[in-house]
Amino acid sequence: MQSMKESAANVAASAKSGMEKTKATIQEKMERMAAHNPTEKEMATEKKQDRIQQAEQHKQEAREHNAAAKQAASHSSTATGQTGHHTGAHQMSAMPGHGSGAPAAQVTEGVVKSHPIGTNTGTAARPTTAQNTHVGGSNTASGYGTGGAYTG
């Protein structure tokens, strides 16, 4: 499973790199056409080469990151679901405190937690059903509504 994720992420990184290289080539052509002397044309070509090199570098960094993520995932759990090595204190996100590698709650793979539809978790007068203030005839002062009286 992780191998497929890594492959998909690598394909996406390659596609993004290709798009960046194409953009660099097109921008170079536009800059060369607008250039008034050979020096400006040479500068446009150098900028293109820098952009292509940067796109390639980003692709390689993404591939390294994807391989590291696959490696970390292969060490983080076993076939029995027991926790193994964690990613440690390596911060995976730019947001402080995010991406520390440890989930905030118990995680069961393949299970999505759900909540009942229509249950209002607030402290309103009718705690058993969700309230839509945009529906119904009783909220006519706000000017919102469906035009009919909802009797749900």
pLDDT tens by residue, 97-126: 555 555 555 666 665 665 566 555 555 555
Q: How far apart are the first and last CA of the chain?
A: 45
Whole-number pLDDT of residue 38? 96
pLDDT interval class at 127 (50, 70, 90): very low
What pTM was estimated for this model as a whole? 0.49
Three-class DSSP category at 145 = coil
pLDDT tens by residue, 31-63: 999 999 999 999 999 999 999 999 999 999 999
Whole-number pLDDT of residue 74? 81
Q: Which residue has the higher pLDDT, 72 or 37?
A: 37
Per the listing, tokens 């029995």 go with 80
Q: Which residue has the higher pLDDT, 53 or 134?
A: 53
Q: Residues 140, 131, 112, CA angle at the centre, nearest 5°?
A: 150
Distances (CA, A) of 110 to 10, 107, 113, 151: 24, 9, 10, 38
Whole-number pLDDT of residue 19? 97
Whole-number pLDDT of residue 139? 46
Q: Which residue has the higher pLDDT, 132 or 14?
A: 14
User: What is the average pLDDT value for the chain, to the nearest integer?
Assistant: 74
Whole-number pLDDT of residue 56? 98
pLDDT tens by residue, 2-34: 889 999 999 999 999 999 999 999 999 999 999
Q: Which residue has the higher pLDDT, 73 or 105?
A: 73
Nearest to 86 by CA among 107, 64, 103, 61: 103
